[in-house]
A and B are shown apart, each in its own frame.
Chain A
Amino acid sequence: MLSFTLRRVLSAVLVLFAISIAVFLIFFATPGVDPAARIAGRSASPATLAHVRAAFGLNRPIFIRYLLMMDHLFIKRDLTSYVNVGLKVVPQVLKAAPVTLALVSGAAVIWLVVGVLGGIVAAANRGKFIDPLVMFIGIAAVSVPAYWLGEVVNLITQSRLHSSLFWWVPSGGYVPFTQNPWQWALHLLFPWLTLAALYAGIYARVLRAELVNAMNEDYVRTARAKGLSERRILMKHALRCSLVSIVSLFGLDFGALIGGAALLTEVVFGLQGVGMLTYTSLQNLDLPVIMACVLYGSFFVVLANAVVDILYAFLDPRVRVA
């Protein structure tokens, strides 16, 4: 078990390292991305440009620049943005993290509750009308582009029905919990619902499939033969086994979302989280911020993957050999 864990952690670190190189290479090759001119401003004379280049170390070979960036990012932790001069990158990411955390956590609660309930209801009533109905709603939720849904929600709550039904909906942005908990929740309500819609659909479908499979397993047949009611079988036996895949799925999804995968939702609703920061920095080709955001996001994905893998290995020894 220990050696498996160690190997898993080692490969996780290797993956992060490879990603940092990939990001650096991808962005280094962009045409028109010479930061010197943007920093120096328009109409800057060639002498000014040369000075700016030297000051930012932009005229050293790639290899050195990569090492310099890693040094500034992790060791000295004073890596500064190319676009916002003097602004430290790491504090920016740390400042944006709670917003994403708030968005994702709230949505997670909603989608877990709705998804699990939906899956149970569909499985318990399989064959009856409610089963395909729930599944159909789930499919619809899963097929909707997240940003489109967000914009439509905005259209309805801000414009069409704003004066009648939705007068209470604020116009976007984030209010910190410590500043005003009620406004915090109000501003996050529709982002939560939008983000949760997609995942609730997935989870309902996955859980239903797992439950239906589990209900056909031998041990369930035994329990049925013993005379236990369908409902009890479902809730006590099948559910317990099916939840394992839900939990592992949740671990992966939550990890990815914390890392900034909710970027479209954040952009649509104006929430300055890690996703929004990533998006802005990609648009501005602000390499230090991109690097920090991508590594931040990858870290959580890799972490979630490793944790799930280790948990599975813990539960199922056969996997450790793989």
Chain B
Amino acid sequence: MGEVVPSAVDNTTAAIAPATARGPESPWRSSLRQLRRNKASMAALGVLIFVTLICLCAPLYANDWAHVNAFSSNISGRIFLNGHWRSVIQANSSGYGESPIGPTWHISNYFLGADSQGRDVFARLLYGGRDSLLIGTASALICVFFATISGLAAGYFGGVIDWIVSRLLDITWAFPVYLLAISLSVILVTSGFSVGPIHVQAGSLLLPIIIIALIYVPYVARPLRGIVMTLKEREFIQAAIGSGASDWRILRKEILPNVAPSIIVFFPLMVAFNMLTESALSFLGVGVQPPNASWGTIINDGLELLYTRPWVAMAPGLMIVITAGALNLLGDGFRDAFDPKAKLRGSI
């Protein structure tokens, strides 16, 4: 990994060096500069910002532009298209079966057509993006948070703490990932979760967020633990310990900043990973619950219409590919800039 100068030296250098004298640049600055120069990563960042913005604008689109409600059923609804009123769900010409309308390609009028409840697919796609991105990001944050704590604790303190934490990580790691997620979801999603004062409603987004976050903790914690263990052997840490610094201070000032690049590199990858897992859980019916939308639930809705209205399933799938792809590219850029030798198992 890129040689990181201990932070103590950093601060003094930055404080002393006047603007004109070009002293050694902070590694963070140089990393950021390298990132900015990486065209692919910047493009990916642009895509991500764009996707996030349009998804955040979902209420604006639905209420003010397209005038649709993305959540309540609209089975007998009608829209005005090409001078005619048309039913949103129409009988097939043979008289058997009813199909929702296909894409109209008019940006404010059922752009991608309707789903089987007669709802505007494009509006749901935007709302779905909000939920998918929220779940992906929130669970990545929680995952990284817990992984950092457990990785640091296990790697730094060693001994019994390491043994307990490592065994817990092993158990979670060995439990086939999807199975653990599905099992927990099957149980918790129908009935909610209440332990003591903590009470989570069934159907709350908090449940998939926490479940997905927890199952991926070992994924991040194990490499972090390895890094911390290696770090601990380095002279500057030994020196700090020898000089009587408290564990807390060492962790905060010496270890954490050196682990931070790895964490940063992991983060976009975890967001992508978590989004994919959420979509798989929603596809299986144990993630986000209807009528809430996430890209996974829309794919699930779309699969029943796959043969006649493929866009309902294709659109959210493409959105997932674009967003996860951009996150992966960004992750690559982060790695190249911050921590080129990071061993990312699987890189998703």
Contacts and interface: CB of A to CB of B under 8 A. Distances in A.
Interface of A: 11, 14-16, 18-19, 22-23, 26-27, 29-32, 132, 135, 139-140, 142-148, 151-152, 155, 159, 202, 205-206, 209, 213, 245, 249, 252-253, 256, 259-261, 263-264, 278-279, 282, 285, 290, 293-294, 297-298, 301-302, 305, 322
A15 B279 contact: no
A-B pairs, 8 with minimum CB distance = A143-B324, A297-B176, A143-B325, A148-B317, A139-B328, A302-B174, A301-B174, A143-B321
A285 B152 CA distance: 38
Nearest to B190: A31
B183 A206 contact: no
A70 to B, nearest CB: 17
Interface string B298-330: 010001001100100110010011111101110
Nearest to A283: B186
B345 interface: yes
Interface stretch (B85-93, B137-145, B165-173, B241-249): B165-173
A148 B174 contact: no
- Please classify the interface of chain B as helix (H, G, I), strand (E, B), loop, or mixed, using the class held by over half of its residues: helix
Nearest to A14: B167
Chain A interface main SS type: helix
Given A159-B307, A213-B341, A145 B280 contact: yes
A151 B183 contact: no
Contacts of B176: 256, 259-261, 294, 297-298, 301
A151 B303 contact: yes
A29 B174 contact: no
B325 A139 contact: yes
Nearest to B323: A143
A179 to B, nearest CB: 29
Contact of A298 (B175, B186, B276, B322): B175
22 contacts: A11-B167, A11-B170, A19-B174, A19-B175, A22-B171, A29-B187, A135-B332, A139-B325, A139-B328, A143-B324, A144-B317, A144-B321, A145-B299, A145-B317, A148-B317, A202-B346, A202-B347, A259-B176, A264-B178, A293-B179, A294-B179, A301-B176
A198 B107 CA distance: 33
Contact of A143 (B183, B191, B313, B328): B328
B340 interface: yes
Given A31-B191, A206-B347, A213-B341, A132 B40 contact: yes
B183 A27 contact: yes
Nearest to B321: A143
B288 interface: no
Contacts of A293: 179
B306 A261 contact: no
Nearest to A212: B340
A27 B343 contact: no
Nearest to B324: A143
A143 B190 CA distance: 29
Contacts of A11: 167, 170
A204 to B, nearest CB: 10
B177 interface: yes
Given A155-B307, A155-B310, A205 B347 contact: yes
Contacts of A159: 307
Contact of B171 (A19, A32, A135, A140): A19
A132 B333 CA distance: 12
Given A30-B187, A256-B176, A147 B321 contact: no
B334 interface: no
A65 B280 CA distance: 32
Nearest to B166: A11
Given A202-B346, A294-B175, A298-B175, A145 B167 contact: no
Contacts of B126: none
B338 interface: no
B14 interface: no
Contacts of A144: 317, 320-321
Contacts of A297: 176, 179
Nearest to A293: B179
A280 B319 CA distance: 29
Nearest to B168: A18
B283 interface: yes
A130 B321 CA distance: 21
B306 A22 contact: no
Contacts of A290: 183
Given A152-B317, A278-B179, A322-B229, A145 B171 contact: no
**Most A CB atoms within 10 A — which of B171, B276, B322, B327?**
B171
B272 interface: yes
Contacts of B299: 145, 147-148
A59 B159 CA distance: 43
A303 to B, nearest CB: 10
